[in-house]
Chain A
């Protein structure tokens, strides 16, 4: 194997092991499992569409915990690397900044994958229970394939948020500022589609009237996370084509690659003192 690939793999693996042994990870995961188990009780509060509520609830708990993992575990591991000069032990070896950043990204991405899988399994179990108990409420076109695809989309949107956090991290001098930047770009990304729809469909939008192009551009600069939000598709058993899924994968990969490339450029100019 080529040395650069070995470097990325070794860095990813050690980041993953380090993260997996972190108490914060398991605190978040246990919290998530408890939340997804409350599914059973929460759905009882609704007298209609139990199945849909349950599915949406399960996917939402994956999204919420994933964000906690990105913002608290991921950003902490990155910040500690610089703060405690741990990066010296890596960068004093023949490792490029690009390899370092890519390795860290893959390591944290793997942690997110494991987290998504565990929490996904937890919500699946509670969903199964709800769907089994209230069989009449199972959405007619519900399919587990769509559910798993929606879950993968959830993971991909977390990867995009993670990549944006990397860029913020390399841009900001203080870890706290980086966290603020990352959270705000997440919020912008989350609500962009809504803004776009409001502007496109409503002629009375005040200052933003006629700015469709600007908003359209913004929706590509900021991560357009609503593309990845397949909760209602899964809940109502709507059609989710393989083609669209493939498109989302490509969007995720190219967006992450671009973010990591820019992060590397910024990081290269940083002094590690």
Chain B
């Protein structure tokens, strides 16, 4: 069986003016089915870029990516993917229910199924009261929770979350954590990025650490921590890498 996500020697650079900014450098990753994979890295490390490449919003300079054996950019497999963006943004003048209706219909679901599924999901996200309110008036946390409902609406096998916990209050974070654990029990594959270490520690089987576009570590969370604090190990690794770069 092919792995859930396979990233093979991806390079990606951005042109900004005359200089080229190398956002990803020879990145390779394999995520097996049913795994919860935490993608860890400081700001600007290249986490969102990787995720946007996986969703084919960006095109790689070189390298290939596959999801469940389907090559990205060639095969149609997007009904199996649920995506939560770093800054979820919706149509301001549609209500929460209408937004999810649009999302579900685009994923090939029938109206009847959605009439049952949408209230359930909104209730799970604590948005029942806001079901018929326009999304333009939602707070950042409410938008984030609606974004989560939007990612889950079509019950996808693979979930890709870009900083799902950022900008949430403790209650909201707890909710998202619970949902990720629930999805894990259901055997879904979850790939999420974060720079909040405690969340990673509570949820992940395996982690990848990325810094300045390079993968520094890829393996079991337990092997990485080695009786130390995750935070200390993480900071030590990043600093060591920076020092090595300077001495070169």
Q: Which residue of B lies closest to A10 (CB)?
A: B105
Give the residues in chain B near A148, CB-CB below 8 Å: none
Alpha-carbon gap, A94 to B156, bound state (A): 12
The distance from the CB of B146 to the nearest CB of chain A, in whole angstroms, is 10
The distance from the CB of B92 to the nearest CB of chain A, in whole angstroms, is 8
Flag the segment in A15-23, A127-135, A259-267 that touches B.
A15-23
- Judged by a CB distance under 8 angstroms, whether A271 is at the interface is yes
**Contact B106–A272 (Cβ < 8 Å):** no
Shortest 9 CB-CB distances between A and B: which pairs? A21-B93, A272-B57, A92-B83, A84-B89, A93-B106, A10-B105, A94-B78, A18-B91, A86-B89
Alpha-carbon gap, A21 to B95, bound state (A): 11
- Judged by a CB distance under 8 angstroms, whether B7 is at the interface is no
- Report the count of interface residues on B (CB-CB < 8 A): 31
- Which residues of A are in contact with B by a Cβ distance under 8 Å? 3, 6-7, 10-11, 14, 17-18, 21-22, 84-86, 88-95, 271-273
**Given contact pairs A93-B103, A272-B58, A273-B58, a sample of 15 additional A-B residue pairs in the complex whose CB atoms are under 8 Å apart:** A7-B106, A17-B98, A18-B91, A21-B134, A22-B93, A85-B85, A86-B91, A88-B55, A88-B89, A89-B150, A90-B106, A93-B106, A94-B78, A94-B79, A271-B57
| Interface bits B76-110 vs A (CB < 8 Å: 1, else 0) | 10110101010111111110001000110111100
Q: Among the listed A11, A84, A85, A93, which residue makes an inter-chain contact with B78, where contact means beta carbons less than 8 Å apart?
A: A93
Alpha-carbon gap, A7 to B150, bound state (A): 16
Alpha-carbon gap, A11 to B108, bound state (A): 13
Give the residues in chain B near A90, CB-CB below 8 Å: 102, 106
**Contact B103–A18 (Cβ < 8 Å):** no
Give the residues in chain B near A94, CB-CB below 8 Å: 76, 78-79, 106-108
